Chains A and B, each alone.
Chain A
Amino acid sequence: MTDEVCIRIKADIDIMSARHASRTMAAEMGFSNLEMTLIATAISELTRNILQYAGHGEISICKVQQGNRKGMKVVVMDEGPGIPDIETAMHDGYSTSKGLGLGLPGSKRLMDEFSIVSKVGIGTTITMYKWVSNKGSGGEEW
């Protein structure tokens, strides 16, 4: 069982690998089918952002434990142009490219925790968490 996966994002096929990796890990951890889909969709959105705005970047997915709850931490990084105004970017409908402008605010809605650090000219790092919902039978120990 791997506790951390890192994937370089250079082409659209890497988006697929990232989604796959998140599903495999989420299934191991006892996430529900719905939760797996939510995570995979958020990853799909953000890795596509990388391709669209930065050209290339990296995603790391790892298992985390915080007290009694366990979850998945996803970090999406690029060294692209950065986002000048994060507050505006977090509003629905914002987009500088041909996208629908849902990437950032939409992904935030799919995950439990979401934070973003961006510097113009240096790059963007987004950190997200999803916790396994407490259902008594929270999957295997790891």
Chain B
Amino acid sequence: MQVPIMKQGPYLIATIQGEIVDEDFIHLRTKLVRMVSKNRSRGVVIDVSSLDTLDSFATRSLRDMAKMIELQGAETVIVGIQPDVALAMVRLGLFLKDIITMMDLEDGFSYLKKSQGKRISHD
């Protein structure tokens, strides 16, 4: 299943819906990186709220994605990790320490806005 990507101002939103197979992650990564560079996006929000499992492969895919997007000059926020999924992840040993995680789209956007604001004011 293809992951839809929406453009909202300087940001992109990717909503991962239901079940996703490994190949979809690779597609998503390629597409996101291309879109970030084409639109000169400042940030990407990846919504995983409809995923009921996040194993080490999915987590690694998300992290790789974030790192590649970072190289394009944009920030990535992952939003919507469910309580039970979060608990399974930490028990498994997946902490996503170097990735920003937020509750939902709203928090994701307000984080990105604040973060951009800081970047600009400090420059």
A and B directly contacting (CB within 8 A): yes
A113: min CB distance to chain B, Å: 15
Contacts between the two chains (Cβ within 8 Å), count: 70
Q: Which residues of B contact A110 (CB under 8 A)?
A: 88, 91-92
Q: Could you say which of B53, B83, B94 contacts A19, with CB atoms under 8 Å apart?
A: B53
Number of interface residues of B (CB under 8 A): 22
Grouping DSSP codes into helix (H, G, I), strand (E, B) and loop, the B interface class, with mixed when no group exceeds half, is helix
B95: min CB distance to chain A, Å: 11
Contact A38 B91 (CB under 8 A): yes
Q: Which residues of A contact B59 (CB under 8 A)?
A: 100
Q: Which residue of A lies closest to B22 (CB)?
A: A12
Contact B60 A41 (CB under 8 A): no
Number of interface residues of A (CB under 8 A): 27
Chain B interfacial positions (CB closer than 8 Å to A): 19, 21-23, 52-57, 59-60, 83-85, 87-89, 91-94
4 closest residue pairs by CB, A with B:
A106-B92, A44-B55, A37-B84, A41-B88
Chain A interfacial positions (CB closer than 8 Å to B): 12-13, 15-16, 19, 23, 33-34, 36-38, 40-42, 44-45, 48, 92, 99-100, 102-103, 105-107, 109-110
